[in-house]
Amino acid sequence: EAQVTQNPRYLITVTGKKLTVTCSQNMNHEYMSWYRQDPGLGLRQIYYSMNVEVTDKGDVPEGYKVSRKEKRNFPLILESPSPNQTSLYFCASSLSLGYGYTFGSGTRLTVV
Amino acid sequence: GQNIDQPTEMTATEGAIVQINCTYQTSGFNGLFWYQQHAGEAPTFLSYNVLDGLEEKGRFSSFLSRSKGYSYLLLKELQMKDSASYLCAFDSGGYQKVTFGTGTKLQVIP
């Protein structure tokens, strides 16, 4: 089944404890992206990647890192999480813009 | 700067037609997306308009006017399962930088 898989689905962590949210797609898509979704603010792009080793900042990149060492994987790294990073995170991939994104199921992160 | 506006909430009756509007401002523009998001779920792709005009896909149609910075999503023969948020988004030209609006929550009532 063609899909984008994110893990974990739910995570509660403490301020400052480094964490990684994994994202993997099995559709051989070149384009991948991370979004966070907050009430009243909608989906905001954190980082995106056009291909292996090619990434760029979205609208809200502060406090996040990404890497794209393999085509299928695009992990999101929070080096020192803070409470304002409490959010619902979505990973997405696409073959090309016209086909739209396929989104993962989301990761609900709480930083206390 | 970049901005997208869409109504926060709408209510419509089962079997009716509803139009969800979206206006945008951006210096670079390639195309306009519509996504559907049910509560607690991930968004799913509905449509992508690059050219002016109306594109129809079954019960859903999407319209774009590039000169006016305006789009709408038209849902016909509404069903209860159409209750969801509808997200408007544009891409700024290449490189997958896609900006979303805050979404319109549609409630379909019997």
pLDDT digits (tens, 9 = 90+) for B46-81: 999 999 999 999 999 999 999 999 999 999 999 999
The shortest C-alpha distance from B109 to chain A (Å) reads 23
CB B110 within 8 A of CB B14: yes
Choose from A6, A27, A103, A105 for mutation: most chain B CBs within 10 A: A103
Contact B43 A103 (CB under 8 A): yes
pLDDT in tens, B29-46: 899 999 999 999 999 999
Distance CA B73, CA B63 (A): 7
The shortest C-alpha distance from B13 to chain A (Å) reads 25
Distance CA B98, CA A97 (A): 9
B9-13 and B104-109 strand pairing: parallel
* Chain A positions in Cβ-Cβ contact with residue B85 (cut-off 8 Å): none
Joined together, the tokens standing for residue A65 give 């890192």
Residue B92: band (very low, low, confident or very high) from pLDDT cuts 50, 70, 90: confident
3-state secondary structure of A85: helix
A87-94 and A54-57 strand pairing: unpaired
Mean pLDDT of chain B: 94
Distance CA A59, CA B1 (A): 12
Contact B100 A42 (CB under 8 A): yes
CB A66 within 8 A of CB A1: no
CB B104 within 8 A of CB B85: yes
- Flag whether pLDDT at A74 surpasses 80: yes
pLDDT attached to residue B105? 97
Contact A33 B42 (CB under 8 A): no
> Which is nearest to B76 in space by CA: B110, B41, B52, B108?
B108
The percentage of residues in chain A with a pLDDT greater than 70, rounded to a whole number, is 100
Name residues whose C-beta falls within 8 Å of residue B82's C-beta, 6 or more positions apart in sequence: B75, B106, B108
Return the minimum-mean-pLDDT range out of A42-51, B63-72, B89-98.
B89-98
A13, B11, B85, B105 from B6: Cα distances, Å: 34, 14, 11, 10
